[in-house]
A and B are shown apart, each in its own frame.
Chain A
Amino acid sequence: MGKGLPVIEFESVSKHYPNGTTAVDDLTLTMPEGGITVLVGTSGCGKTTTLRMINRMVDPSSGRIKLNGKDISATDRAELRRGIGYVIQQAGLFPHRTVLDNIATVPLVLGWGRRKARARAEELLERVGLQPDAAKRYPHQLSGGQQQRVGVARALAADPPVLLMDEPFSAVDPVVRAHLQDELLRLQDELQKTIVFVTHDIDEAVRLGDRIAIFRTGGQLVQCATPAELLARPADAFVADFLGAERGLKLLSLSTLAGVEQGPAPESGRWRLVTSGDGRPQGWRDTTADGDSAGADLVPVRPLSDGDSLLAALNEAVASPSGLIARVDADGKLTGVTSRDAIHDAAGHEHARAAKADGGAAPAKTDAEGVIA
């Protein structure tokens, strides 16, 4: 199956709970292969219900869901679930099993045998960035962030093509969360799973999603688009409101500095960029200050490389006394400087481009097929 083909297809799916709640209302949505589709929306808008219909933990009231072209209602529940990784909030680990045995759960259910299951679990432990000595511990002996890693490892153990993640990182602090998000993107780079990710955090959605589906209370899908398109062209006031006041800045977080022009560091003017012997930027020196004792009174500089976002560049330009940002190559050596104005121009450019894009390519972050570049 080629990249970007729909793996999961919702066709006019609704879910009404017996108590009269409509959790999902006539949802038609596809989730492409090898991409992360993020479901966002306010609490109670049906994200979890939508997710749990994919592994048949919840059955739709009407409509049809297809996985790889096959109606899932015709598949055996247990068999279907063994082919779908599932990560939930607070990891949902088994408190009575060691980390290794937690990860080995599905392989054991699949009848791999203890040795093979454990070997696989050990491999995954390392993959998700845990130390080997965590293997023999019990979940309560791990930090929240470590537990989430185990949850991800457990979901990946039998190498399922599809991964469902329900607010997996919502219980950890922002620093750990950012770290876990990075790791997920790194893993996804290698593994190319089809991931459905639920969150109520729009920043997380923008960071992780190849496509974002925004839901409204009552289980209605409002808009599904790439992050850039969503940020540049929200479908209505509800979406715009949900994206928040910093919608424009979030869009800049999606584009990188690569391609933004740079010039040589200034030789005149009040501020001079000081570099070390091997060409690394050290800081800005105020030439109007008394004496030219170097070092101590330098204004610090945070050099940026091509992979950094326009948002980071804008931030650095605003903070820099000279209004210039220092650009470096992969080795940290100065390649040139870029002015605040040039960054502004690039930002305006990105906005225009994202707004024009027709449901297709998102700048920088994704290619035309919705796969992380």
Chain B
Amino acid sequence: MNSVDWGWIPDHARDLTILALDHMATAGPAVLFGLLIAVPLAVVAHRVRALRGLLLGISSILYTIPSLALFVLLLPITGLTRTTAIVGLTAYTLCVLIRNTVEGLDAVPAHAREASVAMGSSRTRTLLTVELPLALPVIMAGVRVATVMSISLVSVASYIGYGGLGQLFTDGFQRNFTTPVWAGVALTLLLALVADALLVAIQWLCTPWQRGHAARTSAGKAA
């Protein structure tokens, strides 16, 4: 039985919604915690040249650990909990989030940083009010990649019972029934698209100076 059983979907609308929410309850916190860890580390990597290679290296190594292996390695520590799933996904987001935040901070125009310091702002104030806002577009690009990646990786956590929509894949596989698999794929895709659109909207709201980008670049060149 390989064709989609369309009737199955409305019959399970409630279950699907719960699974989708469950999916986001794992992916969302992973990106959030990823950001909370990545931004301070990126600030250190940006300011202390000697640590930059080390931090970027570690985050890259984390990224290359096969996801299944990572969950297995975490089991003795955090057990069969959602925490395991979130910790694992957080580790994966670090690579792109640290890299993009460092890149964003590097791209802050030197004159803006200078001007802030020269006007008597502390380094922390300069970071919060000048550097991070100006790095935001690049950081947000990283957040978007990390979010889509996390949403697609959640299903791997099915093995420990927190796979969100991924449960549909194991379910369909065990029953040799493809409809739940298709539904899971479609919903994962939908979640990724909605989350990405939401992030684009957030970025648009947070970076009013970037609107009308064409005008910006031409004015930038003229100045």
Contacts and interface: CB of A to CB of B under 8 A. Distances in A.
B220 A140 contact: yes
B6 interface: no
A82 to B, nearest CB: 4
B176 interface: no
A94 B208 CA distance: 13
Interface in A91-129: 92-97, 105-106, 109
B210 to A, nearest CB: 8
Interface residues of A, number: 28
B209 A93 contact: no
A94 B220 contact: no
B31 to A, nearest CB: 23
A141 B219 contact: yes
B117 A57 contact: yes
B119 A106 contact: yes
Given A140-B215, A140-B216, A95 B119 contact: no
Q: Which of A86, A92, A142 has the most CB of B within 10 A?
A: A92
Interface stretch (B16-24, B38-46, B79-87, B120-128): B120-128
A77 B223 CA distance: 31
A86 B117 CA distance: 10
Contact of A95 (B109, B118, B120): B109
B118 A81 contact: yes
Given A96-B133, A140-B209, A86 B118 contact: yes
A54 to B, nearest CB: 11
A176 to B, nearest CB: 12
A288 to B, nearest CB: 53
Contact of B223 (A82, A86, A88, A90): A90
Q: Which of B109, B118, B223 counts the most chain A CB atoms within 10 A?
A: B118
Contact of B119 (A90, A105, A142): A105
Interface in A123-178: 138, 140-142, 144, 147, 154, 171
Contact of B114 (A92, A141, A154): A92
The interface residues of chain B, by DSSP majority, are classed as helix
Contact of A96 (B122, B209, B220, B222): B209
A256 interface: no
Contacts of A57: 114, 117-118
B207 interface: yes
B120 A140 contact: no
A140 B212 CA distance: 11
Given A78-B120, A82-B120, A141 B215 contact: yes
A331 interface: no
A55 interface: yes
A290 interface: no
B151 interface: no
A93 B112 CA distance: 6
B12 to A, nearest CB: 47
Given A88-B111, A92-B111, A82 B119 contact: yes
Given A140-B216, A147-B223, A171-B223, A93 B115 contact: yes
Given A88-B111, A95-B109, A95-B209, A140 B219 contact: yes
A130 B118 CA distance: 24
Interface string B4-38: 00000000000000000000000000000000000
Contacts of B122: 78
Most chain-B Cβ atoms within 10 A of its Cβ — which of A96, A105, A141, A144? Answer: A96
A49 B131 CA distance: 24
Contact of B112 (A80, A95, A138, A140): A95
A92 B118 CA distance: 11
Contacts of B208: 138
Nearest to B222: A144
A302 B5 CA distance: 93
B120 A96 contact: no
B16 to A, nearest CB: 41
Contacts of A95: 109, 112, 134, 209
Interface of A: 55, 57, 77-82, 86, 88, 90, 92-97, 105-106, 109, 138, 140-142, 144, 147, 154, 171
Among all A-B residue pairs, the 10 with the closest Cβ atoms = A82-B120, A81-B120, A92-B115, A92-B111, A140-B219, A86-B118, A138-B209, A78-B120, A96-B209, A140-B216
Given A82-B120, A94-B134, A105-B116, 6 more contacts: A82-B119, A88-B118, A93-B115, A95-B112, A109-B119, A140-B209
